[in-house]
Amino acid sequence: MGFWAPFYPVLFPLLLLSTRLVAQRSKKVIEIMESARLIDGHNDLALQLRRYFNNNLTAVDLKTLNKTNTNINKLKEGNVGAQMWSSFVLCSAQHKDAVRLTLEQIDVIKRMCTKYPDFELVTTSEGINKTKKIACLISIEGGHSIDSSLAALRMFYELGVRSMSLTHDCHTPWAESAAEKHNRQSHRNASLSKFGQEVVKEMNRLGMIIDLSHTSSNTAKMVLNISRAPAIFSHSSAYAICQHHRNVPDELLKMIKKNNGLVMVNFYSGFVSCQKLSNISRVADHFDHIKKIAGYESVGIGGDYDGATGFPQGLEDVSKYPALIEELLRRKWPEKELKAVLRYNFLRVFRSVEKVKEQLKDISSSEMEIPFEDVNNPCRLNLKKPFPNLGLSLSKTMPPALNIIHTVILYIVSIILIGY
């Protein structure tokens, strides 16, 4: 103590100065975030609404809900301007009721975003640009949600879905998941089958953002090779910083740069530090790395809140984004780059996807069907086989005269059976 005594008169002003600098930085963070409101790529609140409330919105106040990482008050505190809400259903629903469950998740997102005046459902980049509210975008997580049907994909677009990841942690019959890379698709030696390539083309044509989070590297490479529009990783971090299969290796970062696409950094500690515990500094390392390899134009934010358990100290919920921006500011990220990361990179990608849609507007929808042997499972009716012999179904192949006799017989039979 005695040693420091002579320095007190110097130390005290230094301390004052440093607290002032920190205060100035916080003010700067708010300024930046208010002028470039965050667009986050991935949030699984809808999954938690299913889990805790069976999608009963009457049972929950989304302003203050605190079982989750996400509520409206926290979104506002975090300066969130738009959220891509994930309509995710478990891989165990594949080949079962995945399509219905996905419809129910889209439904709950739509109801949530119309019930609360703080939200506004949008389906275009212009919609995000215009609203002063928290813009709601709908995405699908995992190609199993379309049950290998381009018609289902198109109808999801009609419902407002603007992004889909090709897989979750399971292969689809047409694309490979990173989680199962050691268990390659047995029936097709293809990271993206012919039908999978058609899904990519159809998403380009529709104007749906292709999301590569969860897909295997080979699948991602093939997509980046054929897609006419930029693609995104909606919630993945840098493999060089944490060697997890959900993260993006440098080779793909370079391809994303060429594609003008985007990697939206996931905050889950397991992907940030490959450990249970993590911190903001480690998260910022991912931003630095992706910027180094792919440029700041390809960096975004996809927190994955409510999709994982275990977030870094200081980034526990959606109110905490400013702490990250503060750290990046401390690391000398220029204001212009931070605004791009927060908002403008995503808007650029979304606009390009819309532009490709416009360019392809004269191409009609694809009528390709997946080969039946690729989806031969007990829950799929094979409409190509002769129908069960119900009589009625034959009418299209019978000559007209027989058809009339057939109808008369059916009429008589129904009078006998039903009574009129």
Ligand X SMILES: *[C@@H]1O[C@H](CO)[C@@H](O)[C@H](O)[C@H]1NC(C)=O
Catalytically active residues, by annotation: 42, 44, 141, 168, 214, 235, 304
Site for ligand X in 220-279 (CB under 6 A): 221-222, 225, 273, 278-279
Q: How far is CA 184 from CA 170, 190, 192, 239, in A?
A: 11, 9, 11, 21
x/- map, 327-356, ligand X, by CB under 6 A: ------------------------------
Q: Which stretch binds ligand X (CB under 6 A): 219-227, 255-263, 391-399, 400-408?
A: 219-227
Q: Work out the end-to-end distance of the chain between its first and last CA atoms, rounded to an integer number of angstroms.
A: 106
Smallest separation (angstroms) from ligand X to the CB of 347: 7
If the CB atoms of residues 142 and 196 are measured against ligand X, the closer one turns out to be: 196
Q: Is the CB of residue 283 less than 8 Å from the CB of residue 247?
A: no
121 φ/ψ sector (left φ>0, alpha ψ -120 to 50, else beta): beta
Looking up tokens 């979104």 gives 75
- 265-282 burial, b if ≥16 CB within 10 A, otherwise e? bbbbbbbbbeeeebebeb
In three-state secondary structure terms, 39 is: strand
Taking CB under 6 A as the criterion, the residue among 15, 23, 30, 59 binding ligand X is 59
Beta bridge partners of residue 177, listed in sequence order:
215
Q: Least separation, in Å, of the C-beta of 388 and ligand X? A: 37
Q: Which residue has the tokens 């409409």?
A: 383
66 lies in the site for ligand X, by CB under 6 A? yes
And the tokens for 41?
């790529």
Closest CB to ligand X among residues 66, 414:
66
Under rule CB under 6 A, residue 281 binds ligand X: yes
Query: In the bound complex, what is the minimum distance in angstroms from residue 56's beta carbon to ligand X?
Result: 4
Name residues contacting ligand X, limited to 346-405 (CB under 6 A): none
Q: Which of residues 102-131 bind ligand X (CB under 6 A)?
A: 126, 129
Instruction: Yes or no: say if 106 and 160 are a contact pair by the CB < 8 Å rule.
Output: yes
Residue 175 makes contact with ligand X by CB under 6 A: no
- 315 class by beta-carbon count within 10 Å (0-12 exposed, 13-18 middle, 19+ buried): buried
Residue (58 or 364) nearer to ligand X, CB: 58
Q: What is the closest distance, in whole angstroms, from the C-beta atom of residue 278 to ligand X in the complex?
A: 6
What are the respective helix, strand and coil percentages of the chain, to the nearest 5? Answer: 50, 15, 40
- Residues within the interface to ligand X (CB under 6 A): 56, 58-59, 66, 126, 129, 189, 191, 221-222, 225, 273, 278-279, 281-282
